[in-house]
Chain A
Amino acid sequence: MSEIRSPPPDRVLEIVLENVLHFLTCRRDRNAASLVCRSWCRAEALTRSDLFIGNCYAVSPHRATSRFRRVRSLTVKGKPRFADFDLLPLNWGAHFSPWGSALADAYPWLEKLHLKRMSLTDDDLNLIARSFPSFKELVLVCCEGFGIAGIAAVAANCRLLRVLDLVESVVEDADEDEEVMDWISCFPDGETHLESLVFECVECPVNFEALERLVARSPYLKKLRLNHYVSIPQLYRLMHRAPQLTHLGTGSFCASDDVAVGDQELDYSSAFAACKSLVCLSGFRDILPDYLPAIYPACANLTSLNLSYADVNADQLKPVILQCHKLQTLWVLDSICDEGLQAVAATCKDLRELRVFPGNTREEAEGPVSEVGLEVISQGCRKLQSILFFCQRMTNAAVIAMSKNCPDLVVFRLCIIGRYRPDPETHEPMDDGFGAIVMNCKKLTRLAVSGLLTDQAFRYIGMYGKLLRTLSVAFAGDSDQGLKYVLEGCPNLQKLEIRDSPFGDAALHSGLHHFYNMRFLWMSTCKLTRQGCQEIARALPHLALEVIDSQEDKADDHIEILYMYRSLDRPRNDAPKCVTILQ
């Protein structure tokens, strides 16, 4: 037996440090630890197993994998959020391929991959499927570029797969003459390790018999979210196969086309009674409201309910919501009206997160929800932490009321659909309402503003929004001063997205001291010129300024879109023609 040599003295401390650092899980803590000295930086790099890349272009794959050698779980985010609203040209970038090859080389032991707003192909998915024998978890959120073939490859080859979550991603249909691949049948036979299977966004029919068999042989399955090709009778069968489910996406929640007259319709509520552990319900993609009462047996235990794809009115909602005493998260369509919100406020005393989406996106004078609904929610749901509220009309008074009634608010996103709309009662701008939010909600980190807003609103934000990390602005402000207030006043600002607001080069210039601390800045249809952006680029060499213009050879120097982010590496070389990168 060879002699065991004790490590050299300076290594002892590092080994101790590594052992201690293993217990640090929060990435912000780890970032701080890595700044202490070189030795700590090395030790931290060796012990970081969860790597988070907030912007895929901030750092090259090579740089990331060289520093962090033992990563088991990786998160990468790509396109800026405004891509969701079709503001970014197609083929802009965020291609996964370079990351894929780097990961295959550096981390053969990779277990988890979370991608958001990335573009990945079937080949990329094939690579993932074949390169990582320990692969357990794939989560794709708002991704695009791949199809069923890629998913099938993952299903077939990742034998230890626990999580396959496809969320709000565009899964491309097969060509007309190709048959839709049956990806469900690609999972290997025998018992699976599946804990979560989410495929609501997959726009193709699934082989139901294969799905039923898969669910039957997945004893660890807790989360199942079906696409709208699964009908309610099929759901019934699946639920009886998997009574241990905690999270369920119900698929269409509608009968398939032919229901025989005189056939007794199945007692769907028995399925919900059988799944005693259900805490989260979503789906209801093509709901026939007749069927909604089937979920009653699950209501008392629900902590999360997503009805945001279901056109449900107040009368249909009430009998459901009045049983949901434990609800903490609720997503709905505004079809429930202020009256529906009243019912929510009366019952859901533990509500933490509310999202009210618009059923109709036209800019109209009246809508089904208004300041009345916001105010009742603020009175009834005092523990509210996060709200996203689309409406056609809102008053300062209601927003001020919410700022006082809900001091725990961390996220406040109000979208008054009519642009430049003032307070309909006082005809004043909405400055005071948002001012009250930043003033009274001391924990606020994310804010989205709307309605008629002057520079005064931004003065409030700069003055009081000290913890603000994310700010979304649209059709607001009077002058450069507005943006100046924010850039000079908000030291924690990391993500700033602005559209159609009169902020120009002078305003941009006022943020020079802060841009390296930000993940990104987006400004579209503002008053920026190429010259102004060039000056920023010269002043800050580690900033990538992407100027995106659909028209070439424009008469004036004004630019359409500026997308700006810090980057440790050379400008990317995968940008389309309409993108110019200033550096």
Chain B
Amino acid sequence: MAKEGLGLEITELRLGLPGGDSSASKKRVFSEIDGGENGSSTERNKNAVVGWPPVCSYRKKKTSSKMYVKVSMDGAPFLRKIDLAMHKDYSDLAFALDNLFASYGIDAENCEQVPIYEDKDGDWMLVGDVPWEMFIESCKRLRIMKRSDAKGFGLQPKGSLKGFIEGVKN
């Protein structure tokens, strides 16, 4: 079930000056991913009543909905996996992807990469177009591909490169 973000970003407490992405001190590969709407995942599993519903604390810990997907990066020799449930929005994901492949010496200044994902229907889509909650529900696998290859890849019209180009300008 897709859930829209609650648009609470404006009320969010953060360190640093308001506006802008406070965590990007250097230009990152995926800084162009739209920060999008913050999901309500901080609300997840918050229950006012102790011990209700009657699910073993053991099971509650375990079933914190892990959502593992494989991540491949063109040019990197290894596949990685990432738990989408661990991230609350696209910026968070971008940061994690940066870290994941940093060890392969990916040049952060080089924004030749485009993150795409395969959805439930088997279509390849551009990351960042749909609300975060919808994305994590439908994403089956992630691929970071060369921008030059992306054009000919037959991405769905829904996902356009326009957003990326605009993002690059920021």
**Which residues of A are in contact with B by a Cβ distance under 8 Å?**
82, 84-87, 142, 168, 170, 201, 254-255, 257-261, 285-290, 308-309, 311, 315, 333, 357-363, 366, 368, 390, 415, 417, 419, 448, 472, 474, 499
Q: Is B59 an interface residue (CB 8 A)?
A: yes
Q: Is B52 an interface residue (CB 8 A)?
A: yes
Report whether B78 and A85 are in contact in the complex, using a CB–CB cutoff of 8 Å: no
Contacts of B45 in A (CB 8 A): 360-362
Q: Is B62 an interface residue (CB 8 A)?
A: yes
CB distance from A289 to the nearest CB of B (A): 8
Q: Is B65 an interface residue (CB 8 A)?
A: yes
Report whether A85 and B58 are in contact in the complex, using a CB–CB cutoff of 8 Å: no
Identify the closest chain B residue to A388 (Cβ): B54
Could you list 28 A-B pairs, sorted by A, with CB under 8 Å?
A82-B54, A85-B51, A85-B54, A85-B56, A87-B51, A168-B56, A254-B68, A258-B79, A259-B78, A259-B79, A260-B79, A261-B72, A261-B77, A285-B62, A286-B68, A288-B70, A289-B140, A309-B62, A309-B63, A357-B59, A360-B44, A366-B1, A368-B1, A415-B54, A419-B52, A448-B54, A472-B54, A474-B54
Report whether B63 and A290 are in contact in the complex, using a CB–CB cutoff of 8 Å: no
- Looking at chain A's contact residues, the main secondary structure is loop
Report whether A333 and B79 are in contact in the complex, using a CB–CB cutoff of 8 Å: no
Contacts of B55 in A (CB 8 A): 85, 357-358, 361, 390
Report whether A415 and B53 are in contact in the complex, using a CB–CB cutoff of 8 Å: yes
CB distance from B103 to the nearest CB of A (A): 11
Partner of B77, one of A84, A201, A260, A288: A260
Report whether B46 and A288 are in contact in the complex, using a CB–CB cutoff of 8 Å: no
Contacts of B62 in A (CB 8 A): 285, 309
Q: Is B80 an interface residue (CB 8 A)?
A: yes
CB distance from B61 to the nearest CB of A (A): 10
Contacts of B44 in A (CB 8 A): 360, 362
A286-B66, A287-B68, A288-B68 known; A257-B53 Cβ under 8 A: no
| Cα–Cα, bound, A201→B50 (Å) | 23
Report whether B51 and A201 are in contact in the complex, using a CB–CB cutoff of 8 Å: no
Report whether A201 and B58 are in contact in the complex, using a CB–CB cutoff of 8 Å: yes
CB distance from A75 to the nearest CB of B (A): 20
**Which residues of B are in contact with A by a Cβ distance under 8 Å?**
1, 43-47, 49-60, 62-63, 65-70, 72, 76-81, 120, 140
| Cα–Cα, bound, A255→B154 (Å) | 29
Contacts of A361 in B (CB 8 A): 45, 47, 53, 55, 60
Report whether B65 and A359 are in contact in the complex, using a CB–CB cutoff of 8 Å: yes
Partner of A417, one of B43, B53, B63, B79: B53
| Cα–Cα, bound, A549→B47 (Å) | 22
CB distance from A389 to the nearest CB of B (A): 11
| Cα–Cα, bound, A415→B51 (Å) | 13
CB distance from B54 to the nearest CB of A (A): 5
CB distance from A170 to the nearest CB of B (A): 7
Partner of A311, one of B47, B53, B59, B67: B67
Contacts of B49 in A (CB 8 A): 419
Report whether A362 and B46 are in contact in the complex, using a CB–CB cutoff of 8 Å: yes
Report whether A474 and B52 are in contact in the complex, using a CB–CB cutoff of 8 Å: yes
Identify the closest chain A residue to B40 (Cβ): A362
For the complex with contacts A285-B62, A358-B53, A368-B1, 19 further pairs of A-B residues with Cβ separation under 8 Å are A85-B50, A85-B51, A86-B50, A86-B57, A87-B50, A255-B79, A259-B70, A260-B79, A261-B79, A286-B66, A288-B70, A288-B81, A309-B63, A311-B63, A315-B120, A333-B63, A359-B65, A415-B54, A419-B49
Identify the closest chain A residue to B55 (Cβ): A361
| Cα–Cα, bound, A201→B62 (Å) | 10
